Every structure is written in C-alpha cells, then in structure tokens.
Amino acid sequence: MGGRAVDPSFVKASEATGGQVFLFDRSEAGRSLVVMKYSRTREDTIWRATDTLSTGVREFSFPVDSTVESLLVSVSVQCRQSITLYRPTNTEVRAGDPEVEENQLKSGLITLLTRPAAGTWRVRLAGVGMFFAVVTAKSSISIDSAEFVEPGGRPGHEGLFPVKGPVHMGEQRTMSARLTAPTGQKHFRVVDFAGQTLESLDLKPSDDTGSASDFLGEVVLKHPEFRLAVQGVDEAGYPYQRILARSFEVRTSN
C-alpha cells in the first residue's frame, strides 16, 4: 500500500529477476492485472530505475526509437504527489490523447502508448520515499541474453559455456551478450538499480547472423549487482537503448 514500508528482500528479489514492485492500495488489487496484461507483449526494457525520492522531485529521460510499436510506462511512488510523462515535443501526455490508455492509481501511473513518437521522452516524479519505474516496449530491438561464460566441453566439442556457480568481486570474467539490433556501432555499459552508469564495457562482435549479433568481452567484477545496457542508432537515425531486465549478482567473498 502506498506510504507503507517496503520489504527490502522483496525489492531485491524483484530487481534481480527483472520484475517490478508496484505499490497498489488494497482497493486497487484487481487492477494489478493491467500491468501483467500489458507487460506480456512489451518485453524490451528501454529504461528502469529504483531509488528513493529525498528531494521531492526527480526527472528522468529515455530514448524512444523508430522501431517501437507501443510503449508501456509504469511508475509507482511510495508517497506520491504527481507523476508526469512528457513527449519529445515537451507536451504532457494526458488520458484523453489519441492512442493513449492511462491508468491512474493512488501511488502510481500505468500508461500505454501506441505508436509513440521517436525522440527523447521524460518522466517527472514528485513525492517522498521509494519509487519504482519501468519503461518497456514492443519493438524489433532487444537484448536477447547475457551471461558469464568460460571454456569447456569434451575434446572435439570445446566451446564457451555458462559459468556454473557464483562469480566474485575482483575476478576477471568473460561476458557473452546476444542482441537483435540494426548493424552499426554499439556501446555497452553496466548500470545500477537507479539506472546510473557504473562503467563502460568493451564487448566485441563474435558472430553475425542476420540482425542477431553475439558479443564477447572481458569484465573485471567491481560491483556487487548491476544490469547490462546497450545503446546504438536505429536505421532511421534515432538513438536506441535496451537494458537487460534481470540483474547480475557478484559475491563479495568465496
């Protein structure tokens, strides 16, 4: 319920698996189906952040590229005052706008936009306490998978296989990522749960098959938890961003 304490273990589990905490009031429990219904067909994460509003107001921006057919913006604030979504034209998205389906809740906002304009969108949050924000899309650009890998296999069938067991701080590991994205330069980075960049990654193409591309690179593990993000430019010249919904966990000791 909005305004009440949030169990940290529940938040951690949700963030690790790519879920989202949404603070429904008891009277709104039935409307939680709206999030599940929309999210099933909009699985490509463009932006997400979980943090605490201590100054009362925060504003974030995220890119929407030309491949996005529909956009789902779901935001929940512990003690909400207002949540406002802005188009690239700096105009506010309103419930009566064409191709907009809006669900106002006591502690949050769920907005579905069909055929959103390409460009930089903004969301402004006002309130106090924890917030949970996720922007997902139905599009042809995605991070299909990402994992740490290591050499393995029997003689004659050697290759790179997923690392079994945990990884630890200070280790150098090989990361494998698979994308479906336009050709062109791609920039990889790791981000924290608040969506802030922790560092850039140097992942290089290892194979190209159609529009799906495999990338490999060495990573020195410096952060206890993070997500993988990639940026590039679509075929129409608009920037795109995709973030792996689930996070990586790095142990601090053996």
Q: Which two tokens stand for residue 155?
A: 């003689």
Whether residue 169 sits in one domain with residue 56: no
Phi-psi region of 18 (alpha: psi -120 to 50; beta: other; left: phi over 0): left
Task: Please state, in angstroms and rounded to a whole number, the distance separating the CA atoms of residues 58 and 21.
Answer: 19
Whether residue 177 sits in one domain with residue 57: no
> What is the DSSP-derived secondary structure letter of residue 253?
-
Task: Please state, in angstroms and rounded to a whole number, the distance separating the CA atoms of residues 216 and 194.
Answer: 25
Task: Please state, in angstroms and rounded to a whole number, the distance separating the CA atoms of residues 111 and 94.
Answer: 9
37: helix, strand or coil:
helix
Task: Please state, in angstroms and rounded to a whole number, the distance separating the CA atoms of residues 74 and 14.
Answer: 15
Question: Is 1 part of a structural domain of the chain?
Answer: no
> Of 104, 138, 172, which closes a domain?
138
* The pLDDT of residue 31: 59
* The pLDDT of residue 90: 96
CATH number at residue 20: 2.60.120.380
> Of 138, 163, 183, which closes a domain?
138
Task: Please state, in angstroms and rounded to a whole number, the distance separating the CA atoms of residues 90 and 124.
Answer: 12
Cross-sheet strand order for the sheet of 159-162: 159-162, 142-152, 172-180, 212-220, 204-209
Written as tens digits, the pLDDT of the chain (254 aa) is 445 567 788 788 888 888 877 777 766 666 556 666 665 556 899 999 999 998 778 999 999 999 999 999 999 998 899 999 999 999 999 988 999 998 888 888 999 999 999 999 999 999 999 999 999 999 999 999 999 999 987 777 778 899 999 999 999 999 999 999 999 999 999 999 999 999 999 999 987 655 679 999 999 999 999 999 999 999 999 999 999 999 999 998 76
State the residue range of the domain holding 176: 142-251
* The pLDDT of residue 1: 45
Q: Which two tokens stand for residue 186?
A: 């791609």
> Of 117, 138, 159, which closes a domain?
138
* The pLDDT of residue 30: 63
Question: Is 204 part of a structural domain of the chain?
Answer: yes
68: helix, strand or coil:
coil
CA neighbor of 179 nearest in space, from 223, 153, 210, 143: 143
Structural contact between residues 176 and 205, judged by C-beta atoms closer than 8 angstroms: no
Whether residue 174 sits in one domain with residue 130: no
Question: Is 3 part of a structural domain of the chain?
Answer: no
Give how far Cα 100 sits from Cα of 21, 53, 68, 83, 87, Å: 23, 27, 15, 16, 12
